[in-house]
């Protein structure tokens, strides 16, 4: 692993995580491939590689599209998806949340009860009422990165929200409480898994709330992904005051105290649980991957209080940047490395330690040198 506490990585992570999901995926994959001794080259146009994938854009204005090569065998990637992991027929069958939900249902895999709604069609709300479902989550049908989602709202509030946003179609589902996880699979095998929780502090029976908040913020500032988005202690204390919790209150050991009004999970609390995945869960994740015909996927699921597994979402272009750097547990490049090894099963090279990857320089050159059609990643890397 590179020294991700180096300022070079901190700056790059902060900018890409905030501004460009696709570039972030390209960054982490070309970094991993370069560590493995493979050749990486960015291109402006798919046609410059002599091969095209209709599931990918034809032209790029940022460094998102690249080839990874080994001994003349080259595979094209867009962000974190490749022509092998996301061919056109798979892209069509996983084009939106409803299509994926139908594919899972046809394979007998549970998803939360729900359906599609828009301003002109709100029948799903009546069906939910008939099933005695009172709390729901609302998701844009073709959204990603958790954008536009509202969670744990009443049917009335959800219906009003959908009606007011008359240009959007939403997936409305039962809001299920339980243990929420994000799992990455490659070739139908589970590679990594992370716990997804609301932003919280955990008591130790000794420190007060203010001290635990300071401890959490310090931990976030030391993480290359969360450093630019660490909690604001004063805002957290104000929220806790509305819940009747004083900053001098000492929580008991392992007591979790939510510190944000958000009803959605927060990646700033991510925990690596890859070493604690049960054989039963691995088998379930394998069946989910097969049902969606995705050999590379990120699966969001929830296990309810009765040990039932529900699939919340299946991501066809998982970047791995966020989840490789959990706040709790080891940092790793296990998922992008597994993806690349799956693409190049005969690779036998040695791992090389990277001191710096000047991706931001590559980014600037890509935008400021429009006459260049390709950019060799090796020109921007310093090895130890």
* pLDDT tens digit at each of 384 positions of the chain: 778 888 888 888 878 877 678 898 899 999 999 999 999 999 999 999 988 888 899 999 999 999 999 988 999 999 989 988 887 767 766 667 778 888 899 999 999 999 899 989 999 999 999 999 999 999 888 765 556 788 889 999 999 999 998 888 899 999 998 999 999 999 999 999 999 888 999 999 999 999 999 999 999 999 888 888 899 999 999 999 999 999 999 999 999 999 998 877 777 788 999 999 999 999 999 999 999 888 999 999 999 888 899 999 888 878 666 678 888 888 899 999 999 999 999 888 778 889 999 999 999 999 999 999 999 999 999 998
Homologous superfamily of 113-175: ATP-grasp fold, A domain (3.30.1490.20)
Task: Return the pLDDT at 350.
Answer: 79
Contact present, 111 and 349 (Cβ < 8 Å): no
Distance separating alpha carbons of residues 274 and 194, to the nearest angstrom: 7
Task: Quote the tokens at residue 12.
Answer: 């790059």
79 φ, ψ (degrees, to nearest 5): 60, -105
What local confidence, expressed as pLDDT, does residue 380 receive? Answer: 97
8 Å CB contact between 88 and 55? yes
* 65-70 vs 73-78, strand pairing mode: antiparallel
| Of the candidates 309, 203, 323, the residue with the CA atom closest to the CA atom of residue 269 | 323
The pLDDT value recorded for residue 321 is 65
What local confidence, expressed as pLDDT, does residue 313 receive?
87
User: How far is Cα 341 from Cα 318, in angstroms, rounded to an integer?
Assistant: 16
pLDDT value at position 99?
83
Distance from chain centroid for Cα 283: 21
**CA pair distance 163, 227, nearest whole angstrom:** 38
User: What values do phi and psi take at 171, rounded to 5?
Assistant: -100, 120
Q: Do the beta carbons of residue 171 and residue 242 sit within 8 Å? A: no
Tokens of 45: 């146009």
For 209, the 3-state DSSP assignment is helix
User: Would you tell me how many other CB atoms lie within 10 Å of the CB of residue 34?
Assistant: 20
Q: Give span(s): CATH 3.30.1490.20, the chain.
A: 113-175
Q: Which uninterrupted H or E stretch holds 192? A: strand 189-196
């Amino acid at each position: 692993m590179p020294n991700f506490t180096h300022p070079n990585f901190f700056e790059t992570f902060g900018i890409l995580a905030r501004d460009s999901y696709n570039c972030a995926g390209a960054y982490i994959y070309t970094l991993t491939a370069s560590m493995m001794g493979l050749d990486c080259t960015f291109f402006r146009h798919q046609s410059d590689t002599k091969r095209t994938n209709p599931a990918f854009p034809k032209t790029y204005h940022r460094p998102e599209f690249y080839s990874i090569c080994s001994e003349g065998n080259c595979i094209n990637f867009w962000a974190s998806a490749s022509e092998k992991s996301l061919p056109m027929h798979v892209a069509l069958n996983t084009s939106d949340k409803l299509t994926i939900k139908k594919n899972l249902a046809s394979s007998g895999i549970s998803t939360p009860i729900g359906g599609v709604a828009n301003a002109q069609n709100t029948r799903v709300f009546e069906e939910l009422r008939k099933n005695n479902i009172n709390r729901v989550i609302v998701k844009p049908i073709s959204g990603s990165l958790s954008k536009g989602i509202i969670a744990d709202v009443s049917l009335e509030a959800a219906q009003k929200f959908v009606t007011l946003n008359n240009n959007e179609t939403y997936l409305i589902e039962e809001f299920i409480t339980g243990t929420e996880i994000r799992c990455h699979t490659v070739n139908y095998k589970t590679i990594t898994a992370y716990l997804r929780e609301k932003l919280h502090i955990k008591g130790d029976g000794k420190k007060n709330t203010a001290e635990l908040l300071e401890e959490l913020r310090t931990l976030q500032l030391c993480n290359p992904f969360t450093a630019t988005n660490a909690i604001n202690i004063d805002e957290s204390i104000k929220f806790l005051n509305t819940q009747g919790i004083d900053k001098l209150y000492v929580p008991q050991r392992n007591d979790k105290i939510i510190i944000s009004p958000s009803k959605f999970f927060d990646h700033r609390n991510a925990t690596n649980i890859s070493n604690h995945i049960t054989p039963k869960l691995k088998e379930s994740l394998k069946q989910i991957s097969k049902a969606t015909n995705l050999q590379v996927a990120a699966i969001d699921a929830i296990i309810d209080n009765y040990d039932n597994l529900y699939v919340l979402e299946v991501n066809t272009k998982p970047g791995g940047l966020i989840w490789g750097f959990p706040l709790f547990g080891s940092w790793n490049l296990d998922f992008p490395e597994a993806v690349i090894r799956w693409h190049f099963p005969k690779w036998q090279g040695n791992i090389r330690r990277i001191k710096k990857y000047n991706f931001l320089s590559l980014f600037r050159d890509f935008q400021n040198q429009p006459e260049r059609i390709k950019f060799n990643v090796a020109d921007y890397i310093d090895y130890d």
